[in-house]
Amino acid sequence: MSDKPRSEKQWVTRDVPVHLAERYRADGLWGDVPMGVRIEDALREHGDQILRVHSLERPWEGTFRELRARALAVAGGLRARGVGPGDAVAFQLPNWVEGAVAFYATAFLGATVVPIVHFYGAKEVAFILRRTEAAAFVTAARFGRRTYLDDLGEVVTDLPSLRVLAVVGASDAELPAGAVAFEELEASEPLAGAAQVDPDSPAIIAFTSGTTSQPKGVIHSHNTICFEADQLRAMNSGGGLNNLTGTPIGHFMGMLAALQMPVLGGTEVNMIDVWDPKRVLEIVLRHKLATGAGSTYFLGSLLDHPDLTPEHMRYLAYVGLGGAAVPEAFSDRATAAGTSVVRMYGSTEHPSITGSRHEDDKRSRLYTDGRPLAGVEIRLLDDAGEPTEVGVPGEIWSRGPDLCLGYTDATINLTAFDDDGWYRTEDVGVLDDQGCLTITDRKKDIIIRGGENISAAEVEELILKVAPEVLEVAVVAVPDERFGEKACAVLRLAADATAPTPTVLRERLIEGGLGRQKTPEYVQAVEDFPRTSTGKIIKATLRREAATRLT
């Protein structure tokens, strides 16, 4: 590992306008308390509370008191090896207790947490470590069929910033040169307590889900991430029950749901490292847990499962959905099954822009993405940069106390943010007369056929209504010499169902009210989609595959 002096790494972040920062503080939205200090206080205050890891490979159950002690020891081990406040500490671990310990230790140290989804490959991980100039990296020896040790040569080679490489679950004989066992860090002299650092400095660098060609590093300060955790807790989308988190803690939302929100609220932490619907249903009953939150994939997999019973539905009664489009047909189906659905809209950059609550009226809960949340402002602009009227689609710009500081690639900041603190989401939406926002599409997800824009979301929504044999659909663009682009509908079907032909699907869609020019020319059935860690369909992969196959 490197023995060079710590680099004075400073990411070039955007400046939050002074009047906005003053407002967020005056309104109590920014508390100016470092994330590590808040978490340590919560772990100490709720010392008897439980964290439970539902893993077949590495199960664990213990108290917050134990977690705090383990994290302070690891923080001490990192400090003894030259890692300090402002350094980047990355971890790539499944939903294991060591992931929680690594996260809390980094926060206590005042370093910047870099969570990495456990199924990212060596190329992506190497990119992230170099982009953040990571001073420490914590990884697993193996998980499932994957051996992470095999990737370390590619991952950490030519990384002069690296001071610590720690491995979970490896014997001494398996450790590569320069690496230490995670247990060795835990045997260190513990830190006395969480470091006091600038609450406006970087606390977390979260990388986007990978729907773009390269992951983008999104920088959140202690103030923005702590407000986000408080915002989500206040939404109470799980109906007040303890929640089982299946989203990876290496992903921004899994990290919030499992490692921050319940701890700050003093409630149980439950997480699972493999999303097996059958086993999840067993755990739900055994521990009386809510689950299924996040993208529709998680709830849908449970509602589809033959083991689902009315008793399970008591714990699936309240679910918050977001992170990907929530089709009306899915909302209707979940409601018919007995689940109260609320929808939220946000992104890694601005995590909670709009949302609804279970007490809201059915229309706004099920068929819109809700109203702007506390402290959040939105505006919809047309192509000329002018505000749109109610009912007229426009590109969504947002700002608020949970908006990030910017990207590790400062060049992106120039086009993503303006001088007044507004963030360009690149999503298209429409506001109704009740102030509710409905996302209609992403600008990059519009199919342009013969000069006419086709909303992929519009076509997907109608397919789910007119084709009951379809469980999930993604409509993507296919290059076409004549029209520029044509539409391809990629379908995941119910068991034993047969995909409709393009002609049959076109007739159903036209009968359902879709213009003929918007109907897909191609149809393909798949067993499952390529997905991000939150279950979101990776359309970039589908587009590449369709282009190769059909052109």
**CA-to-CA dists, residue 73 to 36, 156, 484, angstroms:** 14, 24, 59
* Residue 345: how many other CB atoms lie within 10 Å: 29
Q: Tell me, what's the pLDDT at 302?
A: 95
Domain coverage including residue 499: 450-550
Partners of 244 in beta bridges: 270
* Residue range 101-109: mean pLDDT, rounded: 98
Question: Which DSSP helix (H) or strand (E) runs through 167?
Answer: strand 164-168
Q: Which residues of 83-118 are buried (b: 16+ CB within 10 A; e: fewer)?
A: bebbbbbbbbbbbbbbbbbbbbbbbbbbbbbbbbbb
Average pLDDT over residues 20-37: 98
The whole-number average pLDDT for the span 511-519 is 89
CB under 8 Å to 26, separation ≥6 — which residues?
A: none
- Looking at residue 456, which CATH number applies to its domain? 3.30.300.30
pLDDT in tens, 431-486: 999 999 999 877 777 898 877 778 898 899 999 999 999 999 999 999 887 788 99
Residue 233 lies inside a defined structural domain of this protein = no
Q: Which of 350, 287, 346, 348 lies closest to 320 in space, CA to CA? A: 346
Give the pLDDT band (50/70/90) at residue 327. confident
Q: What was the pLDDT predicted at 492?
A: 96
Residue 7 has pLDDT above 70, yes or no: no
Residue 244, domain member (yes or no): no
Structure-token pair, residue 307: 């083991």
Considering the domain architecture, whether residues 484 and 433 belong to the same structural domain is answered as: no
Last residue of a domain, one of 224, 241, 265: 224
Mean pLDDT calculated for residue range 329-338: 92
The verdict on 175 and 282 lying in the same domain is no
At residue 253, φ and ψ (nearest 5 deg) are: -75, -35
The pLDDT assigned to 206 comes to: 96
- Token pair of 276 as six digits: 């097996």
Domain assignment present for 2: no
Question: Is residue 410 a part of any domain in this protein?
Answer: no
pLDDT digits (tens, 9 = 90+) for 238-279: 888 999 999 999 999 999 999 999 999 999 999 999 999 999
Residue type, 174: E
Residue 489 has pLDDT above 90, yes or no: yes
Nearest to 114 by CA among 91, 135, 147: 91
Q: What CATH code is carried by the domain that includes residue 337? A: 3.40.50.12780
pLDDT band at 4 (very low <50, low <70, confident <90, very high): very low
pLDDT at 114 over 90: yes
122 backbone dihedrals φ, ψ, rounded to 5° = -60, -40
**pLDDT over threshold 70, residue 537:** yes
Which pair of tokens denotes residue 519?
């109907």
Look at residue 9 and tell me whether its pLDDT is greater than 70. Answer: no
Is residue 362's pLDDT more than 80? yes
Q: What is the predicted pLDDT for the residue at 3?
A: 52
CATH code at position 137? 3.40.50.980
Both 31 and 175 in a single domain? yes
Contact 352, 327 (CB under 8 A): no
CA distance 286 to 466: 38
pLDDT digits (tens, 9 = 90+) for 186-200: 999 999 999 999 999
**51 and 157 belong to one structural domain:** yes
Other C-beta atoms closer than 10 Å to the C-beta of 212 total 10
pTM of the model: 0.88
Domain match, 109 and 180 both: yes
Position of tokens 């070039």? 12
What pLDDT is recorded for position 396? 97
Distance separating alpha carbons of residues 1 and 152, to the nearest angstrom? 13
Report the pLDDT value the prediction gives residue 374, as an integer from 0 to 100: 94
- Give the pLDDT score at 212: 44
The whole-angstrom separation of Cα 471 and Cα 301 is 10
Task: Give the rounded percent of residues in the chain with a pLDDT score beyond 70.
Answer: 97
Does some domain include residue 198?
yes
Residue 300 lies in a domain: yes
- Nearest-angstrom CA–CA distance, 538 and 12: 29
Query: Same domain, yes or no, for 376 and 334?
Result: yes
Assess whether 501 and 422 both reside in one domain.
Answer: no
Last residue of a domain, which of 224, 241, 266?
Answer: 224
Residue ranges of alpha helices (H) inside 81-188 are 97-109, 122-132, 152-156, 182-186
Task: Annotate 385-431 with three-state secondary structure.
Answer: CCECCCCCCEEEEEECCCCCCEECCHHHHHHHECCCCCEEEEEEEEE
Amino acid at 277: P
Residue 19 has pLDDT above 60, yes or no: yes
Position 384 in a domain: yes
Domain boundary among 407, 442, 477: 442
- CA dist., res. 113 & res. 528, Å (int): 32
Band of the pLDDT at 211, cuts 50, 70, 90?
Answer: very low
At 2, the pLDDT band (50, 70, 90 cuts) reads low
Beta-bridge mates of residue 272: 54
Per-residue pLDDT averaged across 301-329, rounded?
A: 91
Three-state DSSP class for 317? coil
Are 430 and 469 in a shared domain?
Answer: no
In a domain, 252, yes or no: no
Residues 90 and 202 in one domain: yes
Look at residue 413 in the predicted model and tell me its pLDDT: 93
Q: Which helix (H) or strand (E) holds 52?
A: strand 50-54
Angle at 246 between CA 296 and CA 405, to 5 degrees: 85
Lowest mean pLDDT across 90-99, 130-139, 324-333, 535-544: 324-333
Q: Residue 214 above 80 pLDDT?
A: no
The percent of residues in the chain predicted with pLDDT above 90, rounded, is: 80
Q: What's residue 5's pLDDT?
A: 45
Q: How many domains is the chain partitioned into structurally?
A: 3
Between the two ends of the chain, the Cα-to-Cα distance in Å is 49
Length of the chain measured in residues: 551
Distance from C-alpha of 394 to C-alpha of 372, rounded to nearest angstrom: 16
Quick one: 506 and 385 in the same domain? no
Strands (E), 194-302: 202-207, 217-221, 244-245, 269-272
The answer on 94 and 78 residing in a single domain is yes
Same domain, 89 and 124: yes
Tokens of 23: 């407002």
